[in-house]
Amino acid sequence: MPEGRLHKAANPSYPSGTVFVLKGNRPLELRWHPRRKAVLYASDPAYLDAVLAEEKGWREIAVPPMSLVVFRRENLSGYSVEPFEFVAQERKGAEPWQTLQ
C-alpha cells in the first residue's frame, strides 16, 4: 500500500481564534514563540531552521503522526494534541489504496 499523505491547517468559523492542524503520516514541523505569540509550520525543519536562524526563542512542538493539534489565540502554550483516525473514502472505480494518493 502506498504511503498516505496528509497535513492541513484550517481556521474554520468554529470558535473564533481557534486553529486546527492535522498531521497525517507526512513530515510536519511546528514551532511557537511565546513572546511573539506566533506558530509557524513547514514540511521540513530545514526551512524553519533557515528562516529562524537569527531569531531566538522559538520552541519545537512535538506532534506524532496522525494527530490533531488545536491552538487557541488567547493561549498558544495551552495547545492540545489529540490522536485521530483518518478513514479514506473510496473513489468510484478506484482501488482502495488509490484513495490516499
pLDDT at residue 3 in the model: 47
pLDDT at residue 26 in the model: 87
What is the pTM assigned to this prediction?
0.69
pLDDT at residue 53 in the model: 93
pLDDT at residue 43 in the model: 92
E strands present in the chain: 7-10, 18-23, 29-33, 38-42, 59-61, 67-72, 80-83
pLDDT at residue 96 in the model: 57
Alpha-carbon distance values, 21 to 17, 56, 88 (Å):
13, 24, 18
The rounded average pLDDT for each run of 10 residues, N- to C-terminus, in the chain (101 residues) is: 47 69 90 92 94 94 93 90 79 60 51
Domain boundaries, the chain: 7-87
